[in-house]
Amino acid sequence: MKPDKISEAVVRRLPVYLRYLNELSSTDILTVSSQELGRKLDLNPAQIRKDLAYFGDFGRKGVGYNVIYLIEKIRQILQLDEPRHVALVGTGNLGRALCNYNMKENVKIVAVFDSDPSKIGTTMNRLIVQPMDELEQTVREKEISIGIITVPASEAQKVADRFVTAGIRGILNFAPTVLRTPDGVRIHHTDFTADLLSLAYYMDSDDET
Footprint of DNA (CB under 7 A):
7-10, 33-35, 43-47, 49-50, 52-53, 57-65
Phi, psi for residue 154 in degrees, rounded to 5: -65, -20
Taking the C-alpha atoms of residue 87 and residue 142, their distance in angstroms, rounded to an integer, is 9
Give the SS3 label for residue 172.
strand
For a copy of itself, the closer of residues 79 and 165 by Cβ is 79
Q: Is 25 in the site for a copy of itself (CB under 8 A)?
A: no
- Applying CB under 8 A, among 36, 49, 96, 115 the residue interacting with a copy of itself is 96
Sheet holding 59-60, edge to edge: 31-32, 64-66, 59-60
30-59 burial, b at 16+ Cβ within 10 Å, e below that, comes to ebbbbebbbeeeebeeebbbebbeebeeeb
188 binds a copy of itself (CB under 8 A): yes
List residues near a copy of itself by CB under 8 A.
Answer: 2, 8, 11-12, 14-16, 18-20, 40-42, 77-80, 84, 86, 92-94, 96-98, 100-101, 103, 105, 107, 145-146, 148, 169-172, 174, 176-178, 180, 183-184, 186, 188, 190-205, 207-209
